[in-house]
Structure 1
Amino acid sequence: MDKLVRVTTIPLSLEKLLEGQLTFMSQHYQVIAVAADEKRLEKYGVDNDVETYTVELTRAITPIADLKAVFKLTSFLRKQKPLIIHSHTPKAGIISMLAGWLAGVPIRLHTVAGLPLLEVSGTKRKILDLVEKLTYKLAHKVFPNSFELKNIILDLEYANESKLKVLGNGSSNGIDTTYFDPQQYSENFKADLKSTLGMPQEDIVFVFVGRLVKEKGIEELVRAFNELRFNTPKCSLLLIGPFEQDLDPISEEIIQEIENNPKIVTTGYEPDVRPYFAIADVLTFPSYREGFPNVVLQAGAMSLPAIVTDINGCNEIIQDGENGIIVPVKSVEALKVAMKKLGDDVELRSRLTLNARHVIQEKYEREYFWQILLKEYKELESSLKHD
């Protein structure tokens, strides 16, 4: 059986962004998962029945460590002789494509699930631009996970259109709507969870899931919620995710507000977000940039309408007025108005709620996406044999 090497910077990406995908592919290839954090990666391998190999990768710019990673991965690839190497995340992308090229891997693929460099400027931006261009140059095919992201890549002239392909309707993994199903949670369960979290039963619950960092729009969300509370007191804000103050910190003022506001509830990182979606009424996701956000897919599958910013990925999953509301990036006022609208207008909220799950089932079912990716692998394999 041919070997398929899948590389991400950290195991969390394998666990969450590619959940189930490598296990599915192991029916067709000998799959090897590569990432940093040996202990967690090995656990992932056992849980998902795939082989693993640890390469220390970081999300920061670390030239010496990165060169060591390239040499280590190149040596591994030369021994393993895989047919395909397929990377995700920017750092894993450049390391994998360079190592794959040096080792002569026949099919080199990279998925783009967002461009962090869009929020960077100056010398650092120039370096990241060069890295991105080199990653795409060394790849045989690049998969942007949204149509808007593909357009951004073309505008930035990172690659020619012939090298780019969006799989299906977008996403990196689709969504399992049998797993994300609101029917699994009873009214009693939801009432108990609200009580445990100290949230009034009658409150409209706005939920955010993700890293609590500046580029996710957390500062705008907290400010909008604070303004909203004066007119709509029966509402709560539920924040699910870890703070990352070392990488992209939010201001001390907002931290204090989150900690001291009795109507803002935080849980930290949660491995299973479904119960929290089940007790929420609206997803608020005011991110500055995304690839194709899993959170918006998950919330939709759980029948939640979403308020999202007008950025790629978000504005492809959400149709304004059909399954959510789209607002401008970094606008506290627009976010507050949208939250008030969905909080006050029960009829509108009900209509968007009814549409939310149907849209996800129709366009983003996970098994459908896996079959599309497998077909892509097989077509590339076939074209290799005919060359």
Structure 2
Amino acid sequence: MKIIRTSTISISLNVLLKGQLKFLNGFFEVVGISSGDELLDEVSQREGIKTIGIHMERGISPFKDIVSLFRLYSIFRSEKPAIVHSITPKAGLLTMLAGKMAGVPIRMHTFTGLIFPTRKGLVQKVLIKMDRLLCFAATNIYPEGQGVKNDLLNYKITSKPLKVIANGNVNGIDLNYFLPEKISEAQKQLLKKELNIAPSDFVFVFVGRLVGDKGINELVRAFSQISRNTERVVPVKLLLIGPLEEHLDPLYPETLEEIKNNPDILDLGFQKDVRPYLAVSDALVFPSYREGFPNVVMQAGAMGLPSIVSDINGCNEIIVEGQNGMIIPVKNSDKLKTAMEKMLSDTDLYQKLKINSRPMIQSRYEQSVIWNELLKEYKTLLKENNIDV
């Protein structure tokens, strides 16, 4: 029994579905499709599955999209999967359309985040129509969390039933991997020395793409005001972990200048293993404009870090205000600054948030629970379609 999983870019298969594809491959023949590069090769080797590279544009590009659509159609006709299951917007639209054209009986899409709620005017209308077309071509729709589900309902994207797997998130979290004890004291001290982090420093960390809609402009503005305040008692550092994407939603010039010139901001680029950086940090700051269900907030929590997050889908499901973190309005650098300062100054609150962080993740997002619920969903759909497992 063959299942094809697709994403627009390979890093989504490589990171978002790490371990899951190997697990599912123990029950089905799993094939991964995404833009072909070394990360897709890594998926094939690590997960033990066949992969196929197809370039898919992340933005709107009608001609290239049609080429990608018919390449997917050709592969589906050749591979004859019982299920195609997509994540990410463009891969979702193309996979569902190609799957319908090719007669794939079960066509599943997981909405890991919605773009259109943060857009306006004609762009928003086009994006809504694209998501409605995706849902029309799909047989089963899965919002990654309750917030995404509510947006799909409020914008009337589809009348089909919407189901959240387990407590949300596409992959859950490997609590044995994201375990504070995995990073030794010697490793932490060495990394702190390399990064010039003093024992008295309070370290904020951001993990993700360095683009506008991740809230980096607001974060850098808020942090700079804190770090340049000569009256502050606690010295601070900000670690930025992630690639700078200058072609999509680039940062403001003044933000880039501040990142470059502020000695308390450490731009460390993409890191394959974020655990050591979380281990030397005190709190995650994640002021994103939109998410489906952000893995990094769960990862930070599993490593014992409280988080400051924006009041958006996913973030406001993982973080409970005053319990394992703080929630601030979107696109508000003043409120972000206030929250960061409170975490610095209110030691009792910080300790409470920190103590609760890992247990609250452990109780809701254990990886094996989500994997087994997804496996159960596949088997249920196959049975409903009279397809022998």
| TM-score, normalization by structure 1 | 0.97
Alignment of 1:165-184 (within 5 A): 165-184=163-182
Higher deviation after alignment, 358-367 or 223-232:
223-232
1:40 Cα shift? 3.5
Match of 2:370 in 1: 369
> Any idea what SS the aligned residue of 1:308 has?
strand
Partners in 2 of 1:206 and 1:39 — Cα distance?
31
Is the 1:195–1:201 Cα contact (8 Å) retained in structure 2? no
1:128 equivalent to 2:150? Answer: no
Is the 1:199–1:263 Cα contact (8 Å) retained in structure 2? no
Is the 1:180–1:274 Cα contact (8 Å) retained in structure 2? yes
- Residues 266 and 127 (structure 1), Cα distance of their counterparts in 2 relative to 1, 3 Å cut: same
1:105 equivalent to 2:110? Answer: no
1:225 equivalent to 2:223? Answer: yes
Alignment of 1:90-169 (within 5 A): 90-160=89-159, 162-169=160-167
Match of 1:212 in 2: 210
> Any idea what SS the aligned residue of 1:95 has?
helix
Partners in 1 of 2:218 and 2:195 — Cα distance?
23
> Any idea what SS the aligned residue of 2:237 has?
strand
Match of 1:65 in 2: 64
| TM-score, normalization by structure 2 | 0.96
Match of 2:85 in 1: 86
Alpha-carbon deviations, 1:241-286, whole Å to 9, x = none?
Answer: 1111110111111101011001111110001000000000000001
Match of 1:17 in 2: 16
Give 2:292's aligned amino acid.
G
Give 1:180's aligned amino acid.
F
Over the matched positions of the two proteins, sequence identity in percent amounts to 46
Unaligned runs of 5+ in 2: none
Please tell me the root mean square deviation across aligned C-alpha atoms, in Å: 1.4
Give 1:190's aligned amino acid.
K
Unaligned runs of 5+ in 1: none
1:332 Cα shift? 1.2
Match of 1:236 in 2: 237
Give 2:350's aligned amino acid.
R
After TM superposition, where is structure 1 displaced by more than 3 Å over at least 4 residues in a row?
none
Give 1:187's aligned amino acid.
E
> Any idea what SS the aligned residue of 2:12 has?
helix
Partners in 2 of 1:120 and 1:376 — Cα distance?
33
The aligned length equals 385
Is the 1:9–1:57 Cα contact (8 Å) retained in structure 2? yes
1:201 Cα shift? 2.2
Partners in 2 of 1:38 and 1:204 — Cα distance?
38
Give 2:384's aligned amino acid.
S
1:39 Cα shift? 4.4
Give 2:181's aligned amino acid.
Q
1:43 Cα shift? 3.3
Match of 2:274 in 1: 273
1:54 Cα shift? 1.7
1:327 Cα shift? 0.7
Give 1:153's aligned amino acid.
L
Partners in 2 of 1:40 and 1:315 — Cα distance?
31
